[in-house]
Structure 1
């Protein structure tokens, strides 16, 4: 090994972890060159490492600026087909060199000849993303206009067909029924699994060498078998969400989960099952390309959900806008597209209320629809907070608060607790940290009393209270809450 500078020592594993956020910010967020990062860390932080050390560590963190040639080629093929409109985004930054990004944007925005491919099923058809041929002279050519699409596009089309067939199959076999208003999220094992792996992912980002953190990941993998046995509508969105989310830990970790899911599904359902076909296609694409096509995949999936569900069904009203928000975060859809999904969801619920006027409707059903309407508005407020549109979020929470004061808080404690959290987040965004504390604390206490410490909603409240204590500069309170959070998850079966 090259000797360290005179009187200095190379960074230890502990030094890397202690300086991870600073190095990540300089390299990824501020876009400094490796030499600049080395100089800044050496001069300002007394942190010393070779080029090779930096490159190895940045790769393990999933912060490689330039894509592998195979990945870059596949993404460019998706751009030519119209499936991809922008580069892969990690930590708010586009992967690939600036020159490559410009080329991708140029290809994606080029005038194209578009042919829509119809994905046929027993219950009708949906339009898949366009298969396109970017050729300004194609109309003048005496040759046939048919051009074979790239392999990546064929894989994407097969994945769209499989996810569509799976969703239709679940409804036709009456394994899913979203025709009514209710959905029991507490009985959905996918939700609990998602929260557990989220906690494990968060811990890994803090400490990649902890046996405890990897044990939590392994436990999450073990729990996935029970998640598959239940196979609720949350299965595909939440699993895809974790594969994309694990890219921040590292592409290898995301690929490990993807490979495990694909193999386990094939074992449980058989290779010909539409769910097996879907995950086989996703495994062929790999985590990098999944982030590029996830918008199209979930678009096809929710197309089936919308056609088979009540406009005010709780799963639909909760998950559809939530995944619109996440797709925007992943760079799969635009901000306006996400807002449109929120607005459409709210409008369809309001229309379902209007459609019942003059008809005999159970008071309980009417109240349930109103509950779901305001719950979507709560999700919209959360979205506004995440977009740092705090004054707008405050106005939405005021409207929701008025409904709760009229009796909603007593009748629907869950929505009251959701409102407490988003109200707290809004106040934090407005710089009123101390004023926000009672909202986070009351949410945690109310859920612990109502649902128990091991419930997934309680663990979410604990997580947000821990983060709030950290913001306030109260490390002991934050650590105590984190320990309680870990213990609550470990106790779960």
Structure 2
């Protein structure tokens, strides 16, 4: 290539016309570079032309190597519409056949706005209008049924074709694409040293953020709606700092937050999804993995998050396990991680197989049997909360008393390491007696609960505020006006101090160092799953102690 042509000279216009189909197929369909195309034409077809001549002809023939965004969107729209009608397809841009594998690669490398447009086009291929180009959909794009293949052999079943992928509904394709994006993000972050290999759990800031968000729902439930939404707004503001400096489990915390808010009110869940997505688009580059993931999640919204939560949670954890493992050496970190896995399994966010692989291994690594027993009691506490939610008050009461029979001797011996569990048990007992209509007993437990929270956490801590608001709501519902007013004044005084601290720190006044601090089951949990976890923990503790 590049040598002088033979005596018959360079390619003539008639030569170009004759060889146009061959040149087009080599350069476009077979995805060869210009130099490769020229070499083949010279060596096999004695066709000689300069680079400038080729480029002039490509411009005249409207052959472009790069796929335009609007053309790609229109191709996917047409392919989806035809697939829904049961039609196989081949795609052409300006008469040139498009290599569908190349088109699929384009899809995964496209900017977030283009990916979102593609998903929207596939979700509604009939009424979709593009926002990428102000003009009407590209008239240069055409899809039709392919000509019959000369080969009678169908493609092997273990090699899925692009058509099968294009026929997948959007709500199935979106989670698969999110898994691919986030798995690559984890691998890239770990290998680039963005995260330390030993940092395999949510940092305390993540616990704090999740706890404040959960507590906001408690205040709203106790008719402290104004204060509850102030906490929600603080959480939304703090989300920015997490977004700029995410820890390894930031994405799961975000995912869980949307699900948690939706338990109380689906509008809150939708609002958070919209907020997080828009904030991500503003603060991070368009090609950032979070932007790419949000562009897909926005296609399915809250319904898609809820439907595919388990698959996404486990995929994320599996990716992390493959890179650095899930068994930290630090005992405190290990207990925290084990608790998080208990919570995820009880809510169905990880599979039984995954739990049976990881959780017994975690239990074996705990150096003190008291930690193993603590995790078992925490799993039982989740059952007590579920009984309470179902109105099985006697079962809830019996389970709480069983847990207290383990906690109380430790506290009496001066071991306050698990006082958080005692606080949660008192809170649940207060709610049990309240629902039973035992006003006197509930009032006594309520006093103990508030006093214990003040002693353990302090008068302005979120735990104390939440407890006071619960007691205030209890007295109001039972027409104890004077005592309710006293509780309201106490709450307002504590809230004023809390708000001043929040303003001074421009964020959360107190750090939450433990994921188990919040008293309630945050996500919908299943009794059978909780029983499986309790059984798994009991077996692990018994076998290890033997």
Task: Give the match for residue 255 of structure 2.
Answer: 240
Q: What does 1:193-204 align with in structure 2 at a 5 Å threshold?
A: 193-195=212-214, 197-198=216-217
Q: How far apart are residue 463 of structure 1 and its match?
A: 4.2
Q: Cα–Cα, structure 1 residues 269 and 397, in superposed 2: closer, same or farther, change >3 Å? A: same
Among 482, 485, 490, which residue is 2:499 paired with? 490
Aligned 8 A contact 1:196 1:489 in 2: no
Q: How far apart are residue 276 of structure 1 and its match?
A: 3.2
Residue deviations 1:246-267, cap 9 Å, x none?
Answer: 5578766544432321233344
Task: Give the match for residue 449 of structure 1.
Answer: 455
Task: Give the match for residue 403 of structure 1.
Answer: 406
Q: How far apart are residue 159 of structure 1 and its match?
A: 1.9
Query: What is the rounded CA distance, in whole Å, between the counterparts of 2:392 and 2:251 in structure 1?
Result: 30
Query: What is the rounded CA distance, in whole Å, between the counterparts of 1:298 and 1:170 in structure 2?
Result: 18
Task: Give the match for residue 157 of structure 1.
Answer: 176
Aligned 8 A contact 2:384 2:400 in 1: yes
Q: What does 1:121-136 align with in structure 2 at a 5 Å threshold?
A: none
Q: What does 1:312-323 align with in structure 2 at a 5 Å threshold?
A: 313-323=334-344
Q: Cα–Cα, structure 1 residues 177 and 256, in superposed 2: closer, same or farther, change >3 Å? A: same
Among 452, 461, 470, which residue is 2:467 paired with? 461
Higher relative contact order (CA 8 A, sep 6+): 2
Structure 1 length-normalised TM: 0.53
Unmatched segments (≥5 aa) in structure 2:
1-83, 85-152, 158-162, 508-546
Q: Number of residues paired by the alignment?
A: 329
Query: What is the rounded CA distance, in whole Å, between the counterparts of 2:246 and 2:385 in structure 1?
Result: 27
1:231 match: secondary structure? coil
Task: Give the match for residue 476 of structure 1.
Answer: 485
Q: How far apart are residue 150 of structure 1 and its match?
A: 1.8
Q: How far apart are residue 155 of structure 1 and its match?
A: 1.6
Aligned 8 A contact 1:424 1:440 in 2: yes
Q: How far apart are residue 238 of structure 1 and its match?
A: 4.3
Structure 2 length-normalised TM: 0.49
Query: What is the rounded CA distance, in whole Å, between the counterparts of 2:246 and 2:302 in structure 1?
Result: 22
Q: How far apart are residue 324 of structure 1 and its match?
A: 5.1
> How much is the aligned-residue C-alpha RMSD, in angstroms?
4.4
Instruction: Choose 1 or 2 for highest CA Rg.
Output: 2
Unmatched segments (≥5 aa) in structure 1:
1-79, 81-141, 328-332
Task: Give the match for residue 393 of structure 1.
Answer: 396
Aligned 8 A contact 1:381 1:397 in 2: yes
Query: What is the rounded CA distance, in whole Å, between the counterparts of 2:392 and 2:257 in structure 1?
Result: 26
Q: What does 1:28-427 align with in structure 2 at a 5 Å threshold?
A: 147=164, 148-166=167-185, 173=193, 174-175=195-196, 177=198, 185=204, 188-195=207-214, 197-198=216-217, 217-229=232-244, 231-232=246-247, 235-247=250-262, 254-304=269-319, 308-310=325-327, 313-323=334-344, 327=347, 353=363, 355=364, 365-408=368-411, 410-411=414-415, 412=417, 413-427=419-433
